């Protein structure tokens, strides 16, 4: 098994954090991971992305050409990476920002109103966390416990109380499960 994920958006949207938390959760389940960040020289607003590979075997290369999952935080992410998605892949996008969705695609697309979810829990910096909840609900690759543990560890290490982020994560997780159920 190997899963390839690209997280993309603008600097300051938490794109690198999204990928890092996914990678930490996978590592906690004794899976092999790679996490490769890419970003421009701008602090905020420039393009940012990261590529994550998760496998139960040794990973030969961190390069991700055709992701199974694209986490798109802005429209540019879909324009840049949408054409490369595996046929049975998925785009999970921030529908709070992305309003123009390409039609005629061979992959699934799920929009999560990440800003609205984060704002509901008074955590507007947690937009990416709502998206992570959606990724975990969609992929079923990693356990919910591993995700919550990775979130807790990540934010406690930064000296941040993880509770608001856990609430936002769970809301994104529930939202995605509802979307998946509605499309079946």
pLDDT tens digit string along 9-30? 988 888 899 999 999 999 998 9
Residue 137: domain span:
2-183
List CB contacts of 158: < 8 A, sequence separation 6 or more: none
Whether residue 104 is predicted with pLDDT greater than 70 in this model: the reply is: no
Q: What letter would DSSP give residue 74?
A: S
On average, the pLDDT of the chain sits at 89
Report how far residue 182's alpha carbon sits from residue 44's, in angstroms, rounded to the nearest whole number. 36
Whether residue 116 is predicted with pLDDT greater than 70 in this model: the reply is: yes
Q: Average pLDDT for residues 35-57, to the nearest whole number?
A: 84
- How many domains does the chain contain in total? 1
95 exposed, middle or buried (CB, 10 Å; 0-12, 13-18, 19+)? middle
Which residue's structure tokens are 């190997």?
Answer: 2
SS3 59: coil
Kindly report the CATH number assigned to the domain that includes residue 140. 3.40.920.10
Which residue's structure tokens are 């609205």?
Answer: 116
The answer to whether 17 and 81 have CB atoms below 8 angstroms apart is no
Query: With bands split at pLDDT 50, 70 and 90, how would you rate the model's confidence at 6?
Result: very high
């Amino acid at each position: 098994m190997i899963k390839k994920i690209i997280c993309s958006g603008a600097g300051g949207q938490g794109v690198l954090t999204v990928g890092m938390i996914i990678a930490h959760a996978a590592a906690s389940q004794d899976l092999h991971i790679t996490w490769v960040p890419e970003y421009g020289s701008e602090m905020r607003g420039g393009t940012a992305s990261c590529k994550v590979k998760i496998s139960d075997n040794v990973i030969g290369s961190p390069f991700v050409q055709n992701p199974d999952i694209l986490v798109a935080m802005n429209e540019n992410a879909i324009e840049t990476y949408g054409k490369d998605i595996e046929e049975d892949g998925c785009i999970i996008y921030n529908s709070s920002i992305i309003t123009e969705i390409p039609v005629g695609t061979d992959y699934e697309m799920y929009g999560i109103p990440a800003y609205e979810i984060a704002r509901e829990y008074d955590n507007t910096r947690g937009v990416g966390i709502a998206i992570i909840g959606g990724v975990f609900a969609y992929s079923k690759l990693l356990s919910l416990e591993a995700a919550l543990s990775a979130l807790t560890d990540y934010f406690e290490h930064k000296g941040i109380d993880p509770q608001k982020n856990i609430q936002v994560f769970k809301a994104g997780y529930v939202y995605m499960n509802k979307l998946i159920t509605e499309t079946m």
